[in-house]
Amino acid sequence: MVVILLALIFIFQPISWTTVPKNGVLSVIIDRTDTTTADAVKKLRLSGVQTPEAILYPVVSAASAFSSSGLKKGCYQLSPKSPLISLFFKLASGRVSYLVIRIPDGANIWGVEKLFKESPDLDRKLTDFSDATLKSDPEVFRGFDQDIDSVRKESASVSYYEGLAAPDTYYYQPGQSDAALLAKMVRHQKQILDSEWQNRDTAATALIRTPYEALILASLIDKEAGQGQEKYLVSSVFYNRLKIGMPLQTDPTVLYAKGLETRSDPKNITKDDLLKDNIYNTYRQRGLPPTPIACPSREAIHAAMHPADTKYLYFVASGSGRSKFSETLGEHNAAVNQYILKK
């Protein structure tokens, strides 16, 4: 009640801006990362609203209190000299100009499905993101047709549509179909992949025969590498292993296989998991898995096409999102003792 009363005191003051955009409209995007009133206020300030936080906070808090689900995610457009009450009503009513969905780097297909289900005002054409449902609308995956058909002929019990949506922030109009939005993400991934393939390091990537294989490798890199620059080192490790016929031995593929049947994201691997003879187990199978295991970022795709020039064959997490890389098994075992076993 106190917050609402404070909001009412300032509600008829005009919104002040740092600069007025050329089109006279200020766009403020509230996305899924803005989970608190403080987050929304910070976003308003970063977008160019100069009104002090002490005044904005009660206005935003009161608007959020009017909705049982909090502030609606999307783009709010504000006019110059409009009073704070206009901001209050836009936020309270959820009157967005367009809506926002963010696909994070390394999301898998069921993670993307969950984000779509959480996104409001989509015309639901797709009942789910299962292979059977996605197969019924081939236009969504136009451009990856041959890759999907090839995997379908060679492998069973895999996720044929994994990795084909580009991680990014997307904007959509209320009422747009989920199929059209997904198709936009797939086109974006295809454009990125084709562009990176045309500019790849052909000598360093000779073992990768097609853009789709590069996409598979990029998904492994994204799941293994923390810091951006390390993606290129992880890429070099995988290429060096492929060159000598060494299994890739990457845990994320085992976790993916473990979660594929239940469309879940397990965190732990058991000895039994490592021994299972499934097509994604890169401890048992040589070469690349049959499909990507996630939606790789553009940087991971770039790293897959431009590996660092190293002799590394091993790496282990060393803390703070970084890894220790080694050329020999002896060096690697010493690193495992230091960083994992703490010996």
Contact present, 27 and 41 (Cβ < 8 Å): no
Determine the Cα–Cα distance for residues 181 and 98; give it in Å rounded to an integer: 13
Pick from 307, 289, 292: which is nearest to 230 by CA?
307
Residue 1 has pLDDT above 60, yes or no: no
Q: 55: which residues sit within 8 A by CB, 6+ positions away? A: 10, 13, 84
Residue 54's pLDDT is what? 85
Per-residue pLDDT at 257 = 93
pLDDT band, residue 281 (cuts 50/70/90): very high
CA distance 309 to 326: 13
**Residue type for position 121:** D
Average pLDDT over residues 225-239: 91
343 vs 70, which has greater pLDDT? 70
pLDDT score of 2 = 55
Comparing 52 with 231, which gets the higher pLDDT? 231
pLDDT at 75: 84
For residues 167 and 103, the answer to whether their CB atoms sit within 8 Å is yes
Q: What is the per-residue pLDDT for 58? A: 86
List Cα–Cα distances, 57 to 4, 42, 88, in angstroms.
Answer: 10, 9, 11
Residue 226 has pLDDT above 90, yes or no: no
Spell out a b/e string for 215-224, using b for 16 or more CB atoms within 10 Å of the CB, else e.
bbbbbbbbbb
- Give residue-wise pLDDT tens across range 107-156: 999 999 999 998 888 899 999 998 889 988 888 998 998 999 888 888 77
Tell me the percentage of the chain whose pLDDT exceeds 90.
50
In this predicted structure, the answer to whether residue 88 has a pLDDT above a threshold of 70 is: yes
Tens digit of each residue's pLDDT (9 = 90 or more) over 9-53: 566 677 776 766 666 677 788 887 788 899 999 988 888 888 888
For residue 86, how many other CB atoms are within 10 A of its CB?
17
- The residue ranges of DSSP E strands in the chain, in sequence order, are 26-30, 74-78, 99-103, 168-172, 314-319, 322-326
* Three-state DSSP state, 60: helix
d(C-alpha 144, C-alpha 163), whole Å: 11
Q: What is the mean pLDDT of residues 263-270?
A: 90
Helices 211-224 + 251-260 axis angle, to 10: 100
Residue 295 — pLDDT band, cuts 50, 70, 90? very high
Chain Cα centroid distance, residue 168: 7
Q: How many angstroms separate the CA atoms of 203 and 205, rounded?
A: 6
Average pLDDT, the chain: 88
pLDDT at residue 249, as a whole number: 95
Contacts of 189 (CB under 8 A, 6+ apart): 163, 164, 165, 166, 215, 295
Please answer whether residues 117 and 101 qualify as being in contact, where contact means their C-beta atoms are separated by less than 8 angstroms: no
* pLDDT at site 11: 64
